[in-house]
Structure formats: C-alpha cells, structure tokens
C-alpha cells in the first residue's frame, strides 16, 4: 500500500487528516503554544527534533523511542541527542490530546512534524508559516549508532556539511537555510569549546571572552553549562543568525564554515541583508526535509504511545 504525502494547511481544517481527524492540527498547535510560551527553548528543541528525526531512519518518530530490554540504546540516547535534545514532553502532551479526539489515527511522526511547524510559527512571531506535509508512519527501528553516523556534528567543515545534506536529498542552499535554525536555542559548552575556544579560530574576540567566562576549559558531563546560540535575539526565529555568521559571532565550526566558499558566503549575505526571503526558503526547506525516508504500508505503524512501538 502506498500512502501519498498530502500537504497540510497551517491551521485547522484540510490536509491529510481532513476526514479522519479534522482538528488534529489545531490540537497540536494549542499544546505546542502552551510549551513555547512558557519556555522558548522547548520550541527550539521541537524544530531541532524534527531535523534529528528525519536524518535518522527518515521522518518516522524513531527519535522518540525509549530504551527497552530489547533495544537498550535507541537514538535518543546517542550523543547528538542526549542530553541536549528537548521537547519530548510537548510531543507526549500533543499525542495524548490527539488520542482523546481521534484514537489510533494520527502518527507520532506527523505530530513531530506539526509541532516543529507550530514552534517555528510562534518563535518567528507568526511570520514563518510552513505548509508541512503529513502522511508519515511511525518506524519501529531506533539505533544509537545510526544517529552518530547520520547527524552532522558541530565540527564539520563545508565539504562534510554539503555531503551530509546531499545524502538526504537536500542541496547546499537547503543546508544554509536550515542552519538558520541556530538563531534560537542553546548549546552545551562541550559542543564548541575544544575547536572554537581552546585553539585559534575566527570567533569574535569579545564573544570568545564571554564564552570563556561561561564555559569550563574542559567541560564534563557534570559541568557542561549551556549558552545561547544567538546572543542578539536568542528566542526569535529570524535571520539574525546570518548577521552573526558575518560578524564571526557563532558558536560552531559548522556555522563558521558557511563563509568558506564563495557560493555559501553569498547565500549568507542574501539571508542576512534581505528581509523576508529567508523565511520563505526556510518554509520550503522544512517541507523538503519532511519528505526524507517516508515510511508507508507495512514499513511503519501508528503508535499508541510515542515512546514505544506497538505490541500486537
């Protein structure tokens, strides 16, 4: 059986669940709004969760699965996700609310996709409106090692970044556009200290000084504080990230890498200096990412509990 992706609409009505669960998008939106307005960092986490889900086993909610005796090391425990990935409780709340309205109809993968869309909407002050497709089924495989292998780390250079995104069907511009999500959220010091502060780098001297006061020289699991990725507009999904890249005020090697080729440098300049187009491109890139590895038919299921595969 083949399930086609059908574009949902930003707000209630229409879309993939028009007949089977017509209020699903409104229900998810309302739950996400509660969490994002209480803590903007959860919204940043939901956008990142969608990316981390789609890059490993496709957009199938595999990142949500908890460890079990049969699978002690799922994706969520892998270093790219643990302990930094946030927003699981928001997905749980949305799933619970959706199940009350439409039991057994809406996949966790679609809830993750809708939640990322809604988080982007609220964090962008209602300017980013993603036409997120639905129709994803939930996967049954979640592998610690696959997360390590598929998720680009913060120390990647431009060649590695382009290759990592190309492997998922995303082009160089998609990579630059999606990197703009680093305009929100926080990072653990361990993600950048060793290759940005402990050695010579292009990082802005004033920012480096601030970060050295906030971060230990040798972060450990017991001493690994978080800092804002964007100190100018830390809770807003906007194009400030690209201005920070140009000013060398970004945390990761992978952020600074965007200035290492003429083509990506021009993309950064355009996104920094022209109002509006980045938001439109972000919409398209998120939709494109949502089509990675879609499971259909008996490849997947609709989980009753987003943290565990169904047991028949």
The pair phi, psi for residue 14, each rounded to 5°, is 70, -170
| Residues contacting residue 19 through CB under 8 Å, at least 6 positions apart | none
CA 193 to chain CA centroid, Å, is: 22
Q: Which of 52, 136, 188, 248 is catalytic?
A: 52
Task: Look up 182 and say whether it is catalytic.
Answer: no
E strand map for 155-267:
186-188, 226-228
**How is residue 227 annotated by DSSP?**
E
* 115 prior amide bond cis, ω within 30: no
Residue matched to tokens 């986490």: 45
Burial of residue 215 (CB within 10 Å: 0-12, 13-18, 19+) is buried
Left (φ > 0), alpha (ψ -120 to 50) or beta: where does 201 sit?
beta
**Joined tokens for residue 4:** 């086609």
Phi, psi for residue 6 in degrees, rounded to 5: -120, 130
Partnered with residue 272 across adjacent β-strands are none
Instruction: Tokens for 57, please give them.
Output: 């086993």
177 in Cβ contact with 278 (< 8 Å): yes
**Residue 302 contacts by C-beta under 8 Å, 6 or more apart in sequence?**
104, 105, 106, 107, 108, 137, 138
CB 252 within 8 A of CB 153: no
- Residues tagged active-site: 52
């Amino acid at each position: 059986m083949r399930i086609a992706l059908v574009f949902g609409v930003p707000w209630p009505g229409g879309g993939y669940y028009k007949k089977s669960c017509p209020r699903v998008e409104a229900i998810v939106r309302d739950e996400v709004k509660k969490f994002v307005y209480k803590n903007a960092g959860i919204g940043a986490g939901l956008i990142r969760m969608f990316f981390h889900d789609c890059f490993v086993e496709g957009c199938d909610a595999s990142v949500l699965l908890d460890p079990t005796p049969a699978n002690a090391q799922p994706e969520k425990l892998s270093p790219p996700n643990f302990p930094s990935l946030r927003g699981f409780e928001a997905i749980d709340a949305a799933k619970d609310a959706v199940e009350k309205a439409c039991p057994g109809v809406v996949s966790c993968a679609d809830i993750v996709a809708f939640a990322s869309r809604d988080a982007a909407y609220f964090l962008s002050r209602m300017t980013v409106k993603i036409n997120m497709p639905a129709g994803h089924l939930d996967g049954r495989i979640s592998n610690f090692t696959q997360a390590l292998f598929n998720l680009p780390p913060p120390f990647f250079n431009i060649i590695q970044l382009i290759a990592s995104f190309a492997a998922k069907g995303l082009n160089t511009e998609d990579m630059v556009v999606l990197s703009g999500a680093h305009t929100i959220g926080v990072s653990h010091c361990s993600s950048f200290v060793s290759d940005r502060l402990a050695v010579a780098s292009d990082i802005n001297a004033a920012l480096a000084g601030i970060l050295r006061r906030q971060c230990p020289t040798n972060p450990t699991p017991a001493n690994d504080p978080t800092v804002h990725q964007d100190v100018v507009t830390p809770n807003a999904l906007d194009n400030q990230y690209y201005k920070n890249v140009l000013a060398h005020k970004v945390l990761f090697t992978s952020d600074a890498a965007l200035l290492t080729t003429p083509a990506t440098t021009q993309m950064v300049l355009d996104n920094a200096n022209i109002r509006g187009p980045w938001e439109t491109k972000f919409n398209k890139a998120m939709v494109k990412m949502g089509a990675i590895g879609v499971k259909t038919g008996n490849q997947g299921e609709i989980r009753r509990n987003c943290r565990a595969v169904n047991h028949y």
